[in-house]
Amino acid sequence: MQPQPRKKLVLITASSTQIRRVRRARVLDFQQITMPYLAAFVPAEWEVVHVDENVAPIDPEFQADLVGITFHTPSASHAYDLAAGLRARGIPVALGGPHVALVPEEAARHADVIFVGEAESVWPKFLRDFAAGHYAPRYEPAEPPCLDQAPMARKELYHRRDLTAGRLFATRGCPYACDFCSLAVMYRRTLRRRPVEAVAAEYGSFRGKVIIFWDDNLAADREYAKQLFRAIQPYKKWWSSQASLQAGMDEEFLELAAASGCKQLFIGLESISQASLDAAHKEFNRVDEYARAIERIHAHGIAVQAGIVFGFDQDDESIFAKTLDFLEATGVQNATFNILTPYPGTPLYRRLEAEGRLLTRDWSRYNGREDVVFRPQRMSAAALLEGYRSANRRFYSPESIRQRLSHSPVGLWWTLPLNLAYAAALARSGAA
């Protein structure tokens, strides 16, 4: 009997031209794990190709038996256009990812099948259904999946050459429910952990030295994290992750993290206004503890990348200078500034919609960096945009870099070049 030709599955990490331009000011455009990870669930009878639009354009004539697309909100319209082109050529399209989880009814109008939320249990089922010739228009797990059996992502499908060698996740989800964050909606506030040995094995399997944990909050379960740090220490690599401020309150966590090679933690400070944090349901961040926590993290030789959001209802125009004064005084090494953006499906979106304060539903403008998509309370949209830009300019100015890094005990050999690279990228992007 003739062997059956393999079916071809093309997985696309979609990224619109606009969001790629917006993100030009970032130096490290890290790769997402999603498609190399989903590929690991696909049976051998499929040939799997991954196209990452951040690396290469899509060949408009490519052939496939099935296409899967993942995308964030700012790339939604672009992903729908891609889907329309493919479906017009008779290729079935599956859509998934954060935006689909947040607004499934909208996504369903642009796809043959949608995946709402996490796909570990339903993706293999769909592939079986597809092979049998009958599949449902919507797949959604009844329960958030257990990650005990989560496979390693397929490395040959990683394309981006950022400065890191590996990315993986150990945990998924965050126990908090900040009103601007998509995660509580996507993951139903559940925190899951992969087995420590499996994570350590994947960590050790990357050839390079620098690893990113794409965890939402590696400090969400600090006892689990400590076990993980012990398990990865022998590999002698360097790593970074997102973590809540609580990481900075736990000496043992910091000690073990540093010993296992942690070089930087991305900490969602969000605001230096307690009133803003309280109103956004992030009251567990205590502004009066920030300086002490940052000092403790620094004392372990770990750099801090501060996540900052401008535009809360309690923010007036003084917030920009106050925030920068604070970041300079504490010697924070890096910062990611964001304009508050009400992603659809979040409590923030519903509130601003009810108050008639949304300025647009053009998702491409929900980029958090170039557009203000709602009417702020205590300043104009133009002042918010300009304040956000001025914060970037000031933070990456030679004077601020000198001031911040001169009293930071963390390796200048890498924090200084990274700051200079950000300053150059900002100037190139035209945002400076």
Question: Among residues 97, 166, 261, 376, which is the contact residue for ligand B12, using CB under 6 A?
Answer: 97
Tokens, residue 63: 């052939």
Contacting range for ligand B12; rule: CB under 6 A; set: 192-200, 203-211, 367-375, 423-431? 367-375
Question: Among residues 39, 183, 247, 265, which is the contact residue for ligand B12, using CB under 6 A?
Answer: 183
What ranges make up the beta strands (E) of 140-258? 166-168, 171-172, 192-193, 210-213, 238-243
Contacting range for ligand B12; rule: CB under 6 A; set: 128-136, 314-322, 362-370, 384-392? 362-370
Q: Is 428 exposed, middle or buried (0-12, 13-18, 19+ CB in 10 A)?
A: exposed
Q: Can residue 290 be called a binding residue for ligand B12 (CB under 6 A)?
A: no
The whole-angstrom separation of Cα 419 and Cα 421 is 5
Contacting range for ligand B12; rule: CB under 6 A; set: 176-184, 316-324, 389-397, 412-420? 176-184
Question: Among residues 42, 66, 119, 352, which is the contact residue for ligand B12, using CB under 6 A?
Answer: 119
Q: Can residue 96 be called a binding residue for ligand B12 (CB under 6 A)?
A: yes
- When the beta carbons of 36 and 261 are compared against ligand B12, the nearer one is 36
For the bound state, the minimum distance from the C-beta of residue 405 to ligand B12, rounded and expressed in Å, comes to 23
Helix (H, G, I), strand (E, B) or coil at 268: strand
State the SS3 of 235-256: HCCEEEEEECHHHHHCHHHHHH
Q: Can residue 368 be called a binding residue for ligand B12 (CB under 6 A)?
A: yes
Cβ–Cβ < 8 Å for 308, 271: yes
Containing H/E element for 46?
A: strand 46-52
Closest-by-Cβ residue to ligand B12 is 96
DSSP state of 366: -
Helix (H, G, I), strand (E, B) or coil at 120: coil
Question: Among residues 9, 10, 39, 75, which is the contact residue for ligand B12, using CB under 6 A?
Answer: 75
DSSP state of 65: S
Q: Can residue 202 be called a binding residue for ligand B12 (CB under 6 A)?
A: no
Q: Residue 316: left if φ>0, alpha if ψ -120 to 50, beta else—which one?
A: beta
The whole-angstrom separation of Cα 424 and Cα 421 is 5
For the bound state, the minimum distance from the C-beta of residue 403 to ligand B12, rounded and expressed in Å, comes to 26
Question: Among residues 343, 388, 395, 422, which is the contact residue for ligand B12, using CB under 6 A?
Answer: 343
For the bound state, the minimum distance from the C-beta of residue 237 to ligand B12, rounded and expressed in Å, comes to 19
Q: Can residue 334 be called a binding residue for ligand B12 (CB under 6 A)?
A: no
User: What value does the CA radius of gyration of the chain take, rounded to a whole number of Å?
Assistant: 22
Give the other-Cβ count within 10 Å of 17's Cβ: 12
Q: Can residue 241 be called a binding residue for ligand B12 (CB under 6 A)?
A: no
Contacting range for ligand B12; rule: CB under 6 A; set: 23-31, 220-228, 378-386, 417-425? 23-31
- When the beta carbons of 229 and 343 are compared against ligand B12, the nearer one is 343
The whole-angstrom separation of Cα 165 and Cα 207 is 7
Helix (H, G, I), strand (E, B) or coil at 330: helix
For the bound state, the minimum distance from the C-beta of residue 110 to ligand B12, rounded and expressed in Å, comes to 13
> Which residues lie closer than 8 Å to 111 by C-beta, 6 or more apart?
83, 93, 94, 95
Q: Which of residues 31-70 bind ligand B12 (CB under 6 A)?
A: 32-34, 37-38, 54, 68, 70
Q: Can residue 74 be called a binding residue for ligand B12 (CB under 6 A)?
A: yes
Q: Can residue 27 be called a binding residue for ligand B12 (CB under 6 A)?
A: no
b/e 52-87 (16+ beta carbons within 10 angstroms → b): bbbeeebeeeeebebbbbbbbbbbbbbbbebbeebe
Contacting range for ligand B12; rule: CB under 6 A; set: 82-90, 94-102, 348-356, 386-394? 94-102
Q: Can residue 110 be called a binding residue for ligand B12 (CB under 6 A)?
A: no
Q: Can residue 29 be called a binding residue for ligand B12 (CB under 6 A)?
A: yes
Q: Can residue 73 be called a binding residue for ligand B12 (CB under 6 A)?
A: yes
The residues of the shown chain that bind ligand B12, judged by CB under 6 A, are 13, 15, 19, 23, 29-30, 32-34, 37-38, 54, 68, 70, 72-75, 94, 96-99, 102, 115, 118-120, 123, 169, 181-183, 214, 216, 338, 343, 367-369
